């Protein structure tokens, strides 16, 4: 093919980009059909009689409805498969079929994907679970969805920004490649155990134990080698970090810990222990935070 001459190229660039109305109506109809929810057998909800035949001719073996259903199925299978990949632990809690029926299809019906990148599919799933998923296990499902998405978010986050000067007296935020979790159970080791086995394995097997009984603090972060890792923190370090990322400087957070401890010193409650550990370990914590590039 010969390259276009400049004049020809310019004339193409000046062409009216608006499609003819009949083409637009066909595109809109096609888009509305392929997003129609499928049932447990991957069948599309029936169309009004004769609607598809007005636009799509039947083949020797397939009706017009059956031909458009191929595209409908491929749309849903593709997006559901991406959700399985983006939310591996959550998928294991349900199994493929129950995940699709209880989470995937209702979510995608409410929040139709409009982003060009499949890596963004599911960024609103936690919001959907909060608003529309009402089963007794909602909290575990919500935390698992947030943790699965955090792994995606941390991996694709931009590179760290430089630290601010006078770190101790400046308000800081976590870098995009870092997430802080405060949970009522050890969801990280639970997720790790889930991912060691396939989705099909957990349909017939008991889930691993979920450690509970205290507050758990975790950092999820991406290393310079682009590995996504996590580490568990003590209650003192986690409490201090939560105070910092919620708007206090490191100095203000330390002062607040000290005030809480002094107010409760006779009762000898948790704030005394948290403050004492922070007083002993703050220097090494700050060194680690700088090394891990937590703040911006």
Which of 75-84, 143-152, 255-264, 271-280 bottoms out in mean pLDDT, i.e. has the lowest?
255-264
Q: Which residue shows structure tokens 């222990």?
A: 273
Which of 84-93, 115-124, 136-145 bottoms out in mean pLDDT, i.e. has the lowest?
115-124
At residue 78, the pLDDT reads 94
Confidence of residue 10 (pLDDT cuts 50, 70, 90): low
pLDDT at 9 over 60: no
pLDDT at 4 over 70: no
Alpha-carbon span 123 to 130, nearest angstrom: 13
Helix (H, G, I), strand (E, B) or coil at 184: strand
Q: Which domains does the chain have, with CATH numbers?
A: 22-156 (no CATH), 159-296 (3.90.930)
In whole angstroms, what separates CA 23 from the centre of its chain? 36
pLDDT at 99 over 80: yes
* pTM, two decimal places: 0.83
Confidence of residue 1 (pLDDT cuts 50, 70, 90): very low
Q: Tell me the mean pLDDT in the region 261-289.
A: 79
Question: Which residues sit opposite 174 in a β-bridge?
Answer: 295
> Higher confidence at residue 5 or residue 199?
199
DSSP string of 178-225, one letter each residue: EEEEEEEE-HHHHHHHHHTS-HHHHHHSPPPP--EEEEEEEEEEE-TT
Confidence of residue 112 (pLDDT cuts 50, 70, 90): confident
Run of H or E including 221: strand 212-222
Alpha-carbon span 264 to 16, nearest angstrom: 74
Per the prediction, the chain carries an average pLDDT of 87
Which of 20-24, 147-151, 265-269, 281-285 bottoms out in mean pLDDT, i.e. has the lowest?
265-269
At residue 204, the pLDDT reads 92
Alpha-carbon span 150 to 92, nearest angstrom: 17
Nearest to residue 292, comparing CAs of 230, 248, 234, 215?
Answer: 230
Backbone angles phi, psi at 270, to 5 degrees: -65, -30
Q: Residues 160-208: pLDDT tens digits?
A: 877 666 777 888 888 999 999 999 999 999 999 999 999 999 999 999 9
Answer for the pair 273, 153: CB distance below 8 angstroms, yes or no: no
Q: Residues 20-74: pLDDT tens digits?
A: 888 888 888 888 888 888 888 888 888 888 888 888 899 989 998 989 999 999 9
């Amino acid at each position: 093919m010969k390259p276009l001459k400049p004049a020809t190229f310019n004339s193409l660039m000046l062409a009216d980009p608006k499609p003819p109305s009949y083409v637009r109506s066909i595109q809109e109809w096609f888009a509305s059909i392929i997003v129609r929810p499928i049932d447990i057998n991957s069948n599309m909800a029936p169309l009004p009689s004769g609607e598809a035949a007005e636009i799509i001719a039947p083949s020797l073996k397939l009706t017009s409805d059956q031909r458009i259903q191929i595209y409908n199925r491929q749309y849903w299978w593709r997006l559901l498969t991406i959700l399985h990949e983006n939310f591996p632990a959550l998928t294991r809690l349900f199994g493929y079929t129950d995940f699709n029926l209880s989470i995937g299809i209702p979510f995608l019906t409410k929040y139709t994907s409009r982003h060009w990148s499949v890596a963004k599919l599911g960024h609103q799933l936690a919001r959907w679970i909060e608003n529309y998923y009402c089963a007794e296990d909602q909290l575990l499902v919500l935390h698992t969805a947030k943790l699965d998405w955090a792994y995606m978010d941390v991996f694709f986050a931009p590179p760290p920004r430089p630290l601010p000067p006078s770190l101790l007296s400046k308000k800081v935020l976590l870098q995009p490649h870092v997430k802080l979790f405060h949970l009522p159970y050890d969801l990280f080791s639970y997720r790790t155990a889930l991912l060691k086995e396939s989705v099909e394995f957990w349909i017939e097997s008991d889930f691993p134990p979920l450690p509970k009984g205290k507050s758990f603090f975790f950092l999820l972060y991406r290393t310079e080698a682009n590995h996504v890792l996590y580490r568990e923190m003590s209650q003192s370090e986690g409490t201090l970090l939560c105070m910092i990322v919620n708007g206090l400087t490191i100095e203000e957070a330390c002062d607040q810990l000290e005030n809480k401890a002094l107010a409760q010193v006779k009762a000898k409650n948790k704030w005394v222990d948290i403050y004492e550990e922070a007083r002993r370990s703050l220097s090494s914590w700050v060194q680690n935070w700088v090394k891990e590039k937590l703040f911006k």
